[in-house]
Structure 1
């Protein structure tokens, strides 16, 4: 369980006092648009260790904002895949269909919201990296704060470069008006900056924290995210080296696949990085996550809105008796392991079980499931990246070892006839087995869409839904950004 005290990173709303305004998007259904508390003029900030702590906490706080975890993130990172459908009712938030069918145009608002959310994070990180060095404070803590900011900046740039390709690269605070308007940097340049940030972070960040700082970026998180960035660039030697380092750091697969996603098991042995969230009565600004709310079971008290639901293709993707199917999908009419009855009358046949919070934990006047952390990187992903890199480098034995660890945990106490160990050593056959394992192990975790694209299988997998090669590898750049740049920013081909 999360430790509840004043220093815990999620309890501080953070600061919007920094030199640019922190914008918060609201949703008409349920979102408390509360002014940040305890603002200070920027001229009185950046003077103490306490200011530095608040500034770093502000980045973490923004990670769970609407733009980062709710509609904008889900339409950009999930619903375009074959594993997820829009959900809810046909006439509710119909713009989701534009992403599901790849017919979205550059003026659709969620493109802008997701872009804005990532650059908010980057702006907050840049202010930390720029201003904390001048503060008189403990040098070790100063270095750690800067490393945390670099990790979080890298995370947002990774999300941006996957979604839009070339993007403006901002690694410092603009000194004057001439530095505000910058062109898109080449994707390779963005990736190079991400890798530099993660390399810097990994040299400083600790492997573990005390309970009061649980959830902050660690050395393992920096190495693990770096491995994923390298995976997207097919730097197989780097992927193998980085994942091997993480595999030697004490992480372990959580014994029960389903239970690892419940709130009582957050930050467990498998967690490499999670976006922290908590529901604190009396503290609405710190309890603002809508990640679970927008995906929760619609039509039941304590449920949610019912968006981003598992597809029939996902349901059919699992091998016979794979326990992960029932641990990933809440089916209409079932009784959950937490004893919630799902009526046969709910609008959708399936819902995301990984974002599910038991209905009894709902607190009136707060978002459903606001206490649910968002899993960003799990040890199972590290093992599967290790398996993929080893296979691409011709080491089938190592690939099989890592792959079968993931399958063995999923199998649980079932006999070996359930999810039997993979034995194929042919590179192409093993590659497909690893791709399949990624699909079912990481289902509904906002990984599938860009995973398939970086594998070069977009047309094969998403073509039946309307996906087009040489266009839909990325989403359109928000038209508002192009307009604000005076045309300096350019649009992606095909849009």
Structure 2
């Protein structure tokens, strides 16, 4: 049962954001709000829940995000029918995209909407005029800081230097008006992310069945470790992952194949998930399941596993993860459902599958009750292994690495050569985390995106494709104040 408290906010939600759909960073005077009226606990919780609500939106976690984090990589193809471009998913797949393609504007706007909601929650709840129990106030603030860090981490990985909005903006203050069009160095954004996650880790509670789905101290520590991995702060990655591992709150789930089923949602391996609510609420992640389900049977059929990914599983002898990740035409699913014999694409993403017969499917393909796993313990182990290897402790790195491999019945990695082990850890991340929205960003941070993508037949341009283009719509709104990334 999902106990996460979700609040449907209509007019109230519109008062929490300074943005609009077409003008994502414009300040609207009517958006300015004050702490007055937010003295109750329920109202304070609503402010934070409004920020969680952003995770469910189509623009935030669905088609465009799937495109820029998965279809673009060597793990996936566009899928669907050849003539169905998905607006621009064909160009993402082929690396022929431009600054006018809609996916970039959607993910830009969605993440800044989340940031605006987080800023609103932080600004109001932290006011001395809001009288709440201090521990509870700090916990709510910790959740808002965690979510703001998450949204900024998405943006900085995609676009590099970006506007820094860290407060409720006042349209009557010139500095606030200018802030939405000034790109600050990504190092400054990372400093904000680290500060947010440090605050969150110090003020959030441990994982509990009482508040399933809310950010926890373990989630903050894990995301902070991931951020430091991107910055190559290996001592910090080791320290933070050691702390998560020693907490006793998490472990690997015994059966990898069941990780993406309803029975495993918010389980022992889960650190943070986006909560899809079934039943009468129909508050799922909009379109996440249907866009990726088998075309001609359950959905649109986008984001399909590439042959290169299937070959990588075969090369590793990794049948367990291959079969848990890839749906093949004609196969019988774990719930007895039969996939059509000759679908338009030979393979589909099984991690996005929801059972209509063995799970509490709410009958809504658009807003299903499927949770999305964002952070889980297997990645903590792999980050710990990578940090140890980079710190010259290669023998120690084998322990967490091989724990992940043992779960899927693969033999231990034995090499302690740092270069060979680095490649082994990177490959393990690919096989373990396929279709969890990490592969493209991993390749970029590892400095080998060009090499890997060109080998896969994609025209990756070094010095250009490491970052996405700033959306042309945002440059236009800024009157040209926002500058473009190199090569676009």
Task: Using structure 2 for the length normalisation, give the TM-score.
Answer: 0.91
Selected match of 2:422 from 427, 431, 451? 431
1:145 aligns with 2:147: no
* 3-state SS of paired residue (1:86): strand
Q: How does 1:49-448 map to 2 (within 5 A)?
A: 49-92=41-84, 93=86, 95-133=88-126, 134-177=129-172, 178=174, 179-182=176-179, 183-211=182-210, 213-250=211-248, 251-281=250-280, 283-284=281-282, 286-287=283-284, 289-300=286-297, 303-318=298-313, 319-360=316-357, 366-367=364-365, 370-411=368-409, 419-448=410-439
Q: Deviations over 1:427-465 (max 9, x none)?
A: 001001001100100011110001011000111101231
Q: Deviations over 1:399-442 (max 9, x none)?
A: 1001000001122xxxxxxx210000000010010011001000
> 1:263 and 1:368 mapped to 2: Cα distance?
17
* 3-state SS of paired residue (1:460): helix
Question: What is the Cα deviation at residue 24 of structure 1?
Answer: 6.8
Selected match of 2:478 from 457, 480, 485? 485
User: In the alignment, is the contact (CA less than 8 A) between 1:148 and 1:217 conserved in 2?
Assistant: yes
Distance 1:339 1:394, change over 3 A: same
1:466 aligns with 2:462: no
1:9 aligns with 2:36: no
* 3-state SS of paired residue (1:295): coil
Distance 1:208 1:470, change over 3 A: same
Distance 1:287 1:400, change over 3 A: closer
Q: Deviations over 1:58-107 (max 9, x none)?
A: 11111121011111111111111100111111112251011112211111
Q: Deviations over 1:341-362 (max 9, x none)?
A: 0011321111111111013358
Gaps of 5+ in 1: 26-40, 412-418
The aligned length equals: 464
> 2:45 and 2:413 mapped to 1: Cα distance?
47
Question: What is the Cα deviation at residue 43 of structure 1?
Answer: 8.4
> 2:236 and 2:18 mapped to 1: Cα distance?
38
> 2:21 and 2:322 mapped to 1: Cα distance?
36
Q: Deviations over 1:188-221 (max 9, x none)?
A: 111111001001110110112343x211000010
Distance 1:181 1:280, change over 3 A: farther
* 3-state SS of paired residue (2:341): coil
Question: What is the Cα deviation at residue 53 of structure 1?
Answer: 0.7
Q: Which residue of 2 aligns with 1:416?
A: none
> 2:318 and 2:139 mapped to 1: Cα distance?
45
Distance 1:257 1:222, change over 3 A: same
Question: What is the Cα deviation at residue 44 of structure 1?
Answer: 6.4
Gaps of 5+ in 2: 23-32
